Amino acid sequence: MATVSKVSKRPQPGLEPEYCKGCNRCVEACVHGCIAPGQEINPLTGLMPVALHLDECNGCGLCVDACPEPWGLRVPDPTPPRPRAVPADLAPERQPLGEGKPLILKGAHASAIGALLAGCRHFFGYPITPSTEGAELMARLLPQLDGHFVQAVSEVAAVNMMYGCGGAGLPSMTFTSSPGLSLMLEGVSYMIGAEVPGVIVDVMRGGPGLGGIGPEQSDIKLLCRGLGHGGTHAIVLAPATPQEMLDFTQLAFALAFEYRNPVMIAADGYLGQMTGKVLLPPAAVKPGLPAWSVHGDAAHRGNLINSFHLAEADLEAHNRHLQAKYLMMIKAEQRADLYRCQDADVLLVACNTPARMAKGAVRALRDEGIAAGLFRPQTLWPFPIKALKPLLREVRQIVVVEASDGQLEDELRLALSHAGVGEGIELRHLRRMGGVLPSQREIVDAVRAAVKRRALA
Ligand code: SF4
Ligand code: SF4
């Protein structure tokens, strides 16, 4: 209901506190001092709306003009309010691609093309070797596709731009590498807390610190167990070929929107640079627009994206909601590739580029009569324990092959322990670090030695 000013006939402004961002522009606009900066946080928004004291207000409307929020401060409309438009999900559309010839692509380029085919038209990033080629291709292609490429001032800025873009319901991505990922983690926690989708391709390099620019699987622990503060998880896809760099990136966007959560792609430096044959998928995707998005139009105006819950009970309920979502991911999104596993009594467990050497090792070991197989997790979180479990009836030994200090092995041990399986199976490993990948010969030697030790035991 409009209140008319005592000093003029013009109506006085009204405030909808839940739409006030507390920017205080209206405070500065009012020469009569009728508006004071807020003193109390609004529990619905986590922001401090201003307070109106309208005794001296002459209804000049300058504060309303100054307010950037169309629903924040406004002159009440004497006509009855129209019902607010209810947003509806606009579903993504599949657009068939003609049958094409295979392309020869670098892993990082394949990932960029996967993003474009998933409908991503927003890239925010900060260059870092060995991921920069992916960003470079996006910089070249996005302007031609009516898209936006922003080289941010830092990784922290880039991930927060993704937060905003994902909050508006639009697919966005970044390429980064290990030190860059460390910087992004606060923003990733915010995205998970606020349930904002986005895709982060981490082309892992050696650490700790700046480490080196050679390939390592140095971020598995961070990606699976340490995505920023709070109870956070995201699906972590682990490609092993340029083809999977494309396919998994396209898949990552679908999963990010399905679960309203960031999706991480764990690639390694070698995979980012490696060229290989890549087939384009049968269809590209034209993104939809989710009903929950803060898209800036009338229908979505009432939506709010926020990771702030001041009341303890609300935050606990939100955490329970997120954990239920993680459980759905654990049930539905485990992925693994099995190579000659069915009759294996020695199982190699490896992902990313080391899995390619391990595959060669399996062939060599089979040639000399050792029943080896390769179990390759394609999701590191959730770990694909469902596919591993049935193999454990035959398996006597597991050898984890990785380019890290045991981060994949830790994930395997946790998965075995949570599933209550694996007792009595000998667990060994071959680890290289610092940009050195395990070679096929080293793997064969490690398995031979393990088999020999067991025969002598
Ligand atoms: S309408 Fe004018 S006088 Fe009234 S609060 Fe706004 S700026 Fe101040
Ligand atoms: S200008 Fe609008 S959003 Fe900013 S403090 Fe005033 S009412 Fe709130």
| 68 CA from centroid of ligand 1 (Å) | 15
pLDDT in tens, 42-99: 988 889 999 999 999 999 999 999 998 877 888 877 777 666 677 889 999 999 998 8
Mean local confidence (pLDDT), 385-404: 96
Residue 4 resides in a domain: no
- Nearest residue by C-alpha to atom 2 in ligand 2: 67
Whether the CB of 30 sits within 6 Å of ligand 1: yes
Whether the CB of 5 sits within 6 Å of ligand 1: no
- Here the CATH number for the domain that contains residue 47 is 3.30.70.3270
Residue 236 resides in a domain: yes
Q: Are the beta carbons of 408 and 400 closer than 8 angstroms?
A: yes
- Looking at the fold, whether 440 and 400 belong to one and the same domain comes out as yes
| 67 CA from centroid of ligand 2 (Å) | 5
- Here the CATH number for the domain that contains residue 403 is 3.40.50.920
- Looking at the fold, whether 132 and 268 belong to one and the same domain comes out as yes
pTM for the model stands at 0.83
- Looking at the fold, whether 191 and 309 belong to one and the same domain comes out as yes
- Nearest residue by C-alpha to atom 7 in ligand 1: 30
The last residue of one of the domains, among 274, 307, 332, is: 332
- Looking at the fold, whether 234 and 296 belong to one and the same domain comes out as yes
Residue 398 resides in a domain: yes
pLDDT in tens, 268-285: 999 999 999 999 999 999
- Looking at the fold, whether 247 and 388 belong to one and the same domain comes out as no
Residue 8 resides in a domain: no
- Looking at the fold, whether 61 and 176 belong to one and the same domain comes out as no
The last residue of one of the domains, among 267, 301, 332, is: 332
Whether the CB of 62 sits within 6 Å of ligand 1: yes
Residue 110 resides in a domain: yes
User: Any residues with CB less than 8 A from the CB of 364 and at least 6 apart, and which?
Assistant: 440, 444
Mean local confidence (pLDDT), 97-117: 95
Question: Which atom of ligand 1 lies at the shortest distance from residue 62's CA?
Answer: 7
| pLDDT higher than 50, residue 100 | yes
Tell me which residue range forms the domain holding 70. 14-74
pLDDT reported for residue 45 = 85
- Looking at the fold, whether 314 and 343 belong to one and the same domain comes out as no
| 412 CA from centroid of ligand 2 (Å) | 52
| 305 CA from centroid of ligand 2 (Å) | 18
Query: What's the structural domain count of the chain?
Result: 3
| pLDDT higher than 90, residue 188 | yes
pLDDT reported for residue 343 = 94
- CA dist., res. 178 & res. 241, Å (int): 20
Residue 320 resides in a domain: yes
| pLDDT higher than 50, residue 1 | no
- Looking at the fold, whether 396 and 314 belong to one and the same domain comes out as no
- Looking at the fold, whether 109 and 235 belong to one and the same domain comes out as yes
pLDDT in tens, 45-55: 889 999 999 99
Residue 86 resides in a domain: no
- Looking at the fold, whether 382 and 314 belong to one and the same domain comes out as no
| 74 CA from centroid of ligand 1 (Å) | 11
- Looking at the fold, whether 425 and 407 belong to one and the same domain comes out as yes
- Here the CATH number for the domain that contains residue 273 is 3.40.50.970
Residue 39 resides in a domain: yes
The last residue of one of the domains, among 290, 312, 332, is: 332
Which one of the ligands is nearest to 19 CA? 2
Pocket of ligand 2 (CB under 6 A): 15, 20-26, 49-50, 66-67, 69, 72-73
| 27 CA from centroid of ligand 2 (Å) | 8
- CA dist., res. 222 & res. 272, Å (int): 19
- Looking at the fold, whether 119 and 54 belong to one and the same domain comes out as no
Rg of the chain over Cα atoms, rounded to whole angstroms, equals 27
